[in-house]
Amino acid sequence: MAQKQEYLSKNQKIVLDIIEKSAQPMKAYSILFNVQKKGLKAPPQVYRALDKLVEIGKIHKIESRNAFIACRNSACTIANATAFSICESCEDVKEISSSKLSKYLSNFQDKEGMKYNKYNLEFFGLCKKCK
């Protein structure tokens, strides 16, 4: 297992910063638009930073929405094991950090007895406000 990188590069900091300031997931091109004043002009600059940030667990990708959200788990140890609840009305997204759930899922065995320590789970429904 590769050691987690301890510092962030200039572009990675800029991209992480903008994502952390958003309560909700951000799309790549929205991030791009927001960081243009900081000198990041082209998609690859953003996508490279996103790739790295996902890899080290600072952010997560919400696959069903093609959007990126900052990890709020103190230690970001669950970069590979993520769970979210998504409101289908207002698109509010919350990361779920339940050790019970993560234990259950990392211990889950399929029919061939195989286990997985990497997974992504997205729950859909209506949030409190929208219900």
Which residues of the shown chain bind a second copy in the complex (CB under 8 A)?
Answer: 63-64, 80, 85, 94, 96, 98, 101, 104-105, 108, 110-112, 114-125, 128
Nearest to 86 by CA among 78, 77, 76, 96: 96
- Name the DSSP class of 73: S
Distance CA(72)–CA(33), nearest Å, equals 24
Contacts of 127 (CB under 8 A, 6+ apart): 85, 87, 89, 90, 92
- Minimum distance of a second copy from residue 121's CB (angstroms): 5
Binding partner of 119, given a second copy, DNA, none, CB within 5-8 angstroms per partner class: a second copy
- Which option in a second copy, DNA, none does residue 52 bind, with CB closer than 5 to 8 A by kind? DNA
Q: Which residues bind DNA (CB under 7 A)?
A: 5, 7, 9-12, 27-30, 39-45, 47-49, 51-52, 66
